[in-house]
Structure 1
Amino acid sequence: MKDINDALEGVFGYGGMALAVLVGWSVWWVVRYVRADAMTRQSIRQAMRIRRTWKRLAPMLKLSATDKTPTMAAALSSTDNKPIKPRVLVPALKVTHDAYGVIARANCLPGVGLEQFQKAAPHLADAWRCTRVAVTQDKPGQVVIRGVRLDPLKFKTEHQPTGEVLDEIARWDLGLDEYAQPVSVDLTQVPGVTVAGLPGFGKTSLINRLICDWAPSPAIQFVCADGKVSTAKEGDYAHLVKRMFDFVGDDLEEANALFRRLVELRRARVSAAEHILGVQSMWEVGPSAGWPLVVVIIDEAHTYFRDHKGSDPKTKKLAALAAENARLVEDLVKKGRSMGILVILATQKSTGDAIPTFIRDVCPIGLSFAQKTAEAAVAALGEDIREWPDANPINLQDRAYVGVASMNHQSQPGFTRIRTPYVSGQDSAAIAQQTAHLTNDPADLLTGIDLTKNAPDSTAPPMAA
């Protein structure tokens, strides 16, 4: 009798523990639900519905497999020689949520893999009441299904710089894609970036974020030529000039002098690389405070390259300056990569008359905000954009898409749309003020070094960029 009582006490003891765990989990879930905002609550309910209906939905969408081989238990339990009924296997599904929708991870089965899930994506969107669903490979044997109930591209976002040095130098955090997933690009070994789009749709704000996020690092220095202003006190970069070692406006002669200085810096670095770095390419050791990555920002680039027509002396002079500006920037883009020079060119329409094709086509990364014509979209993103009509920037002219850009992402095929966040002038001014002491002219860092000792032989072929 005592043994029975002890057994009952043990059962009730374990039962009490299980009940306590269940109550604790329920309380935690209710608190999380109550504290969530309205959008997240809707996603929580959506995730619950997906879990509850998955086993029924999966076979209807042919996302299940039939196993005709009986298990050992089924074979042993069958005593009347009747055929054993095949088992229907459904992929295991784990669902999480966020404000925009759900993220589900599913295990693959024989005959049910990435291709089958991608084929079923439109039907999953209907069943899960999502605006769109995307399926990608997570790891071998597992897929990630991202469903968004709300279009992330239509929700304006803001970014507040932390003032901390990023973990990865030269990684550019751009914003959220159309599935609310963060998008970034690695600008290591990248010679140039082009940014195009109609006025007021987010080009400068995108570059402002880059400066604010990278400014806390002494291993990065900035210089800017802004073709839409005359002085550093004007325009969108006025708050950030303190973190730039030089700045010019729309004067072609001043811009020409700046581009000449930068080309001279590149040549000096070529001569000094072996002596200072011990290697021919800065990227073999990475940027540092002594040899920083130089980010050259050329906004409203067409100002500096436009072909001036006319026979009067003033027009001829402007035409000559524009032609030389193009030649100098071409030098920076084609030969500056290995020396740690990155050129970012922004313009409204990146056709050949705005950014010469011998510069534009060397820049491997291109982004485009809203465009009015197919010609402008192709100039910004290449001919392939014609095959991706949903991502074409001519569809971004609605004011709801201010801050949304299309780009050809490095890590995936085709094009994706990105919601870039807004950075306030107050925040950018604060970052510039906090990091102004880090500003150095990269040319000054080479002063006092005997460059003739390791200068390349003038008779030898030029070093590859």
Structure 2
Amino acid sequence: MEAITGYASYALPITTALIGVWLVWTVVRYVRADKGTRVSMRQAVRVRWGWVRLARMAGLTVTDKTPSLLTQITAQKDSPPPAPRILTPKIKVKPDQYGVIVQARTLPQVGLEEYQKSARFLADAWRCTRVSVLPDGPGKVLIRGVRSDPLTTPTRHRPTGRPLADLTRWELGVDEYAARVCVSLANVPGVTVAGVPGAGKTSGVNKFVCDFAPSPAVQIATADGKVSRASEGDYADLVKRMFAFCGDDLDEANALFKRLVELRKRRSATIRDVLGVKNMWHVAPSPEWPLTVLIIDEAHTFFREYKGSDATTKRLAALTAENARLVEDLVKKGRSVGILVILISQKTTGDAIPTFIRDVCPIGLSFAQKTVEAAVAALGEDIRNWPDASPVTLQDPAYVGVAVMAMQGRPGYTRIRTPYVSDADAARIAEETSHLTADPDLCLDALLRKTGRTAVSTPSLTK
């Protein structure tokens, strides 16, 4: 007893010290948080304190009539049966800028479906705009409650200038529950991006360039149908990180597409001998065999069908028809050799991007659209069944930078807030990474020489 009494004299000050440290840490974290996170931290406290009562009202508890082991041991022989226990799922609450993330346990008869049915009650009780419930492993669910709408909250992305650890992941932004949205680029031959002018198409692609530019295993070429020269338009700040660039001149674009098709043919002919695989994605991109990205902005400029009988019109019609054939070759045959085509247009209808190109691209994003027909062209017929997610509903200025896409593993369509990248940040990244720019043809020549094979010379690309 004396030993126990001696230890007890230390317990109180130790406990007090630990509580004091916890309080100081909580206050510091609260002070350093932004305004939105502070509100969420207060919201998290309300969620924890009110959970037992709310769970009972929402039907998320279960009655256990079996006495606990302790009750069975201590119960007297003639004593009345103990009252049934009401079990409440245990939760962990984490606040962030937009709301709270709640990890909850399941119970018999209180599973994922029951939580999903109670989502609207939880949203009202927690004062959230919307609440989602997703599985989080065996016996657990993840409840996401957003207090402010992430889709109408503009975000800004400041590129770090560091190479990505995984070149197969393209981080697009956050969805309507503020969850990060990433798509895999592995084995993806093409991406289509649609939307009315000023909806955020080019800004989203700028983020892609700024994120991937620090890696020497990525090389980028661009054909921009909105400008005549590299010093104009949205890509003027990024052109230093591009191994090739052309404007709206159809002859220059045709030469660029031919050059990339020749690169595709050379890679297809040598990939087994050089990389030892049939598919580049089995070994990942490298500086010697970089992922080659072709961005075609205002794609309809290069595929437009010219109609007329005069010589000039016939020549332009022949050029655009050949452009379509060349890009079709890249999209249909370039996947396994590490060529990715990103096609951007206001509408991805068949007259803007030929269907034999558009329908081969597995990833499609659509920013705001004015008509259902344009939304269907960008996202497929199924978007008619999801009117709340249609890009036609994104015409409000608050939704500039919001895109819609179909995500693998998710029903329906996902709305995504893409972040804004400033021109200054884009110029900084291009300047810092310009030394990494290399012609993939020359990279292949060097790799062939390194492996003892004869390099096939091709015409050089000019910016």
TM-score range, shorter chain: over 0.9
Query: Quick one: which amino acid aligns to residue 329 of structure 1?
Result: V
**Which of 53, 56, 65 pairs up with 2:53?**
56
Aligned to 1:12: 9
Which segment is superposed worse, 333-342 or 420-429? 420-429
Is 2:402 the counterpart of 1:401?
no
Question: Within 2, Cα distance between the matches of 1:37 and 1:259?
Answer: 48
Aligned to 1:71: 68
Residues 64 and 112 in structure 1, CA contact (< 8 A), matched pair in contact too: yes
Structure 1: 5+ residue runs without aligned partners? Answer: 456-465
Aligned to 1:350: 348
Aligned to 1:146: 144
Where 2:59 maps in the other structure, the secondary structure is coil
Where 2:60 maps in the other structure, the secondary structure is coil
Which segment is superposed worse, 24-33 or 350-359? 24-33
Question: Within 2, Cα distance between the matches of 1:211 and 1:77?
Answer: 69
Question: Within 1, Cα distance between the matches of 2:330 and 2:427?
Answer: 29
Residues 175 and 420 in structure 1, CA contact (< 8 A), matched pair in contact too: yes
Q: Displacement of 1:81 after TM fit?
A: 4.5
Residues 367 and 406 in structure 1, CA contact (< 8 A), matched pair in contact too: yes
Aligned to 1:109: 107
Q: Displacement of 1:65 after TM fit?
A: 1.5
Listed one character per residue, the Cα deviations across residues 283-324 of structure 1 (whole Å, up to 9, x for unaligned) are 121111111110010000011111112222211211111111
**Which of 199, 209, 212 pairs up with 1:211?**
209
The normalised TM-score by structure 2 is 0.94
Is 2:178 the counterpart of 1:180?
yes
Residues 173 and 182 in structure 2, CA contact (< 8 A), matched pair in contact too: yes
Where 1:66 maps in the other structure, the secondary structure is strand
Which segment is superposed worse, 20-29 or 187-196? 20-29
Where 1:225 maps in the other structure, the secondary structure is strand
Query: Quick one: which amino acid aligns to residue 57 of structure 1?
Result: L
Aligned to 1:378: 376
**Which of 317, 338, 341 pairs up with 2:339?**
341
Residues 152 and 178 in structure 1, CA contact (< 8 A), matched pair in contact too: yes
Question: Within 1, Cα distance between the matches of 2:215 and 2:139?
Answer: 40
Which segment is superposed worse, 77-86 or 148-157? 77-86
Query: Quick one: which amino acid aligns to residue 61 of structure 1?
Result: A
Listed one character per residue, the Cα deviations across residues 224-258 of structure 1 (whole Å, up to 9, x for unaligned) are 00011011111000111111111111111111111
Q: Displacement of 1:7 after TM fit?
A: 4.2
Aligned to 1:332: 330
Residues 101 and 130 in structure 1, CA contact (< 8 A), matched pair in contact too: yes
| Percent identity of equivalent pairs | 62
Residues 43 and 100 in structure 1, CA contact (< 8 A), matched pair in contact too: yes
Query: Quick one: which amino acid aligns to residue 9 of structure 2?
Result: F
Which segment is superposed worse, 400-409 or 306-315? 306-315
Q: Displacement of 1:75 after TM fit?
A: 2.7
**Which of 284, 287, 305 pairs up with 2:285?**
287
Where 2:148 maps in the other structure, the secondary structure is coil
| CA-atom RMSD in angstroms | 1.8
Residues 240 and 429 in structure 1, CA contact (< 8 A), matched pair in contact too: yes
Q: Displacement of 1:153 after TM fit?
A: 1.1
Listed one character per residue, the Cα deviations across residues 13-53 of structure 1 (whole Å, up to 9, x for unaligned) are 21221122112212222232233333222111111111111
Q: Map of 1:183-332 to 2, 5 A cutoff? A: 183-332=181-330
Q: Map of 1:163-174 to 2, 5 A cutoff? A: 163-174=161-172
Listed one character per residue, the Cα deviations across residues 391-443 of structure 1 (whole Å, up to 9, x for unaligned) are 11111101111111111123422211111111111111111111111111111
Is 2:39 the counterpart of 1:25?
no
The normalised TM-score by structure 1 is 0.94
Residues 287 and 443 in structure 2, CA contact (< 8 A), matched pair in contact too: no
Query: Quick one: which amino acid aligns to residue 354 of structure 2?
Result: P
Where 1:88 maps in the other structure, the secondary structure is strand
Question: Within 2, Cα distance between the matches of 1:283 and 1:26?
Answer: 50
Q: Map of 1:441-456 to 2, 5 A cutoff? A: 441-447=439-445, 449=448
Count, aligned residues: 452
Question: Within 2, Cα distance between the matches of 1:283 and 1:27?
Answer: 49
Change (3 A) 1:428 1:378: same
Question: Within 2, Cα distance between the matches of 1:46 and 1:453?
Answer: 65
Residues 173 and 180 in structure 2, CA contact (< 8 A), matched pair in contact too: yes
Where 2:328 maps in the other structure, the secondary structure is helix
Question: Within 2, Cα distance between the matches of 1:166 and 1:411?
Answer: 24
Structure 2: 5+ residue runs without aligned partners? Answer: 456-463
Query: Quick one: which amino acid aligns to residue 438 of structure 2?
Result: N
